[in-house]
């Protein structure tokens, strides 16, 4: 009898969707280290200083047992101040944070509406047997409005939760935040904003797209919860959920992903504290990244490729096998570009996800797109 796991892997391979781990090689066009902080001397120094003052590497237990450390609490206090929220809660990963929000905060009788391109971490937190969850077409605020109106008309009495990413990780486009804020206000709804790919890159001092779009006065709104991952633009690890104190207390008491996980490394919490300070003063780096984005878009337009307007530039290929072949060819030429295939993206939209970071120069971009044009012409 063939092992069903073997059959499943064989099926993935036949579709060109079998995943494998591979090391970083060549110029970085795939990481989310947008400001090039992950290997920076300043964060290395912050880690060394924290070790020197006795901050431990491991927490030794969950936050509710002995794992709660002053570095966690200091980070959460500083993050709340930085992002303008009432409180913050630090999670080991963005995945755990998103899943905890979805699984814990909406209550029986509530309605969740989430964008069709919302991250898998949020979807995995949904419990269909307990909460009614509706997937809305991408960036379609009118569709969300119709769902809410219909649900209320049918007798829905609970709270409404609207969940979106502010900058979408595979398409690089932005959520219509002004319209979403207005929608949430109109229906007395909670608005959950995943700022993962915007944190550090957009807004005053890198505070995200809500700040850039709506201004600082909306950051602490009682109906807005924002998630800021620390492993992308901030160059560290973990995630900060910024939210009203009531919901923080509820996550601490009922969020299984928080309660039953070993606390994040206190050393990493200290590094994230340093990253927030660096982020606040990194306007030159953000300006440099914006220049790279504009340069890439100019080259892409010359090649007839649509540009996203952000540091995430997808090149839609369509067929899974072709995307894999193109990525392999570019890697052989010294460009670390990866193929993204379903189910991460919709069927028929396999792509190259080109991420722009401060690890590359305009000349590196020119070389990448020249080689991409040559490879696409041969395909």
Asked if the model's pLDDT at residue 129 lies above 80, the reply is: no
Distance, CA of 90 to CA of 229 (rounded, Å)? 10
User: Domain boundary residue among 280, 312, 338?
Assistant: 280
pLDDT level of residue 128 (50, 70, 90 thresholds): low
Together in a domain, 206 and 321:
no
Q: Which one from 232, 261, 285, 359 is the annotated catalytic residue? A: 232
232 is catalytic: yes
Decide if 13 is inside a domain: no
User: Domain boundary residue among 250, 280, 310?
Assistant: 280
Distance, CA of 355 to CA of 29 (rounded, Å)? 5
Q: Which one from 69, 187, 197, 228 is the annotated catalytic residue? A: 197
Mean pLDDT of the chain: 95
Please write the tens of the pLDDT for every residue from 281-340: 999 999 999 999 999 999 999 999 999 999 999 999 999 999 999 999 999 999 999 999
Q: Which one from 32, 85, 139, 226 is the annotated catalytic residue? A: 32
169 is catalytic: yes
**Are 379 and 326 a contacting pair, CB within 8 Å?**
yes
Asked if the model's pLDDT at residue 219 lies above 90, the reply is: no
Asked if the model's pLDDT at residue 96 lies above 90, the reply is: yes
142 is catalytic: no
pLDDT for 18 equals 84
Decide if 2 is inside a domain: no
pLDDT level of residue 378 (50, 70, 90 thresholds): confident
Q: Which one from 98, 121, 139, 169 is the annotated catalytic residue? A: 169
**Are 351 and 340 a contacting pair, CB within 8 Å?**
yes
302 is catalytic: no
Say what the pTM is.
0.94
- Reduced to 3 states (helix: H, G, I; strand: E, B; else coil), residue 240 is strand
Number of domains present in the structure of the chain: 2
Together in a domain, 27 and 63:
no
What letter does residue 262 receive in the DSSP assignment?
B
Decide if 8 is inside a domain: no
Together in a domain, 26 and 165:
no
145 is catalytic: no
pLDDT for 16 equals 82
Decide if 11 is inside a domain: no
32 is catalytic: yes
Please write the tens of the pLDDT for every residue from 33-87: 999 999 999 999 999 999 999 999 999 999 999 999 999 999 999 999 999 999 9
Together in a domain, 60 and 30:
no
Range of the domain at 330: 20-35+283-378
Decide if 3 is inside a domain: no
Distance, CA of 357 to CA of 28 (rounded, Å)? 8
Asked if the model's pLDDT at residue 15 lies above 90, the reply is: no
Together in a domain, 77 and 177:
yes
Q: Which one from 28, 71, 115, 165 is the annotated catalytic residue? A: 165
Please write the tens of the pLDDT for every residue from 193-211: 999 999 999 999 999 999 9
Together in a domain, 54 and 79:
yes
Decide if 323 is inside a domain: yes
User: Domain boundary residue among 280, 307, 325?
Assistant: 280
Q: Average pLDDT for residues 122-139, to the nearest whole number?
A: 87
pLDDT for 377 equals 86
Together in a domain, 189 and 291:
no
Q: 241: how many CB neighbours lie within 10 A of its CB?
A: 29
Q: Is the peptide bond before 312 cis (omega within 30 degrees of 0)?
A: no
pLDDT level of residue 379 (50, 70, 90 thresholds): low
Return the closest-CA partner of residue 200 out of 303, 312, 117, 280. Answer: 280
Together in a domain, 357 and 372:
yes
Residue that the structure tokens 């709660």 belong to: 68
**Are 76 and 240 a contacting pair, CB within 8 Å?**
yes
Decide if 1 is inside a domain: no
Please write the tens of the pLDDT for every residue from 139-191: 999 999 999 999 999 999 999 999 999 999 999 999 999 999 999 999 999 99
- Spell 3-35 as b/e; 16+ CB within 10 A means b: eeeeeeeeeeeeebbeeeeeeeebbbbbbbbbb
Together in a domain, 204 and 329:
no
Decide if 15 is inside a domain: no
Alpha helices in 260-349 (DSSP H): 266-280, 283-302, 320-332
What letter does residue 67 receive in the DSSP assignment?
I
């Amino acid at each position: 009898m063939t092992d069903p796991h073997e059959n499943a892997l064989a099926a993935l391979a036949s579709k060109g969707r079998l995943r494998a781990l591979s090391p970083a090689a060549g110029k970085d066009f795939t990481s989310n280290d947008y400001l090039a902080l992950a290997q920076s001397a300043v964060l290395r120094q912050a880690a060394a200083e924290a070790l020197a003052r006795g901050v431990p590497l491991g927490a030794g237990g969950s936050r509710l047992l002995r794992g709660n450390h002053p570095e966690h609490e200091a980070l959460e206090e500083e993050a709340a101040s930085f992002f303008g929220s009432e409180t913050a809660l630090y999670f080991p990963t963005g995945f755990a944070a998103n899943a905890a929000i979805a699984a814990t905060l909406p209550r029986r009788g509530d309605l969740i509406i989430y964008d069709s391109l919302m991250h898998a971490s949020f979807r995995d937190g949904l419990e269909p047997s307990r909460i009614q969850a509706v997937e809305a077409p991408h960036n379609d605020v009118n569709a969300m409005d119709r769902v809410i109106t219909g649900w209320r008309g049918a007798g829905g009495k609970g709270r409404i939760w609207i969940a979106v990413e502010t900058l979408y990780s595979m398409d690089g486009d932005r959520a219509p935040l002004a319209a979403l804020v207005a929608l949430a206000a109109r229906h007395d709804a909670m608005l959950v904003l995943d700022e993962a790919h915007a944190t550090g890159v957009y807004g005053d001092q890198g505070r995200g797209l809500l700040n850039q779009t709506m201004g600082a006065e909306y950051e602490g709104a009682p109906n807005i919860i924002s998630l800021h991952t620390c492993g992308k633009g901030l160059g560290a690890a973990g995630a900060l959920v910024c939210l009203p104190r009531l919901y923080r207390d509820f996550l601490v008491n009922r969020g299984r992903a928080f309660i039953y996980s070993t606390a994040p490394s206190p050393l990493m919490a200290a590094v994230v504290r340093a990253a927030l300070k660096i982020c606040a003063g990194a306007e030159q780096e953000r300006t440099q990244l914006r220049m790279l984005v504009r340069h890439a878009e100019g080259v892409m337009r010359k090649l007839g490729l649509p540009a996203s307007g952000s540091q995430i530039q997808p090149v839609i290929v369509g067929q899974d096998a072709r995307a894999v072949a193109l990525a392999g060819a570019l890697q052989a030429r010294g460009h670390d570009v990866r193929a993204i295939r379903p189910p991460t993206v919709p069927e028929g939209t396999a792509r190259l996800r080109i991420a722009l970071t401060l690890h590359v120069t305009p000349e590196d971009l020119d070389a990448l797109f020249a080689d991409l044009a040559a490879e696409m012409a041969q395909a």
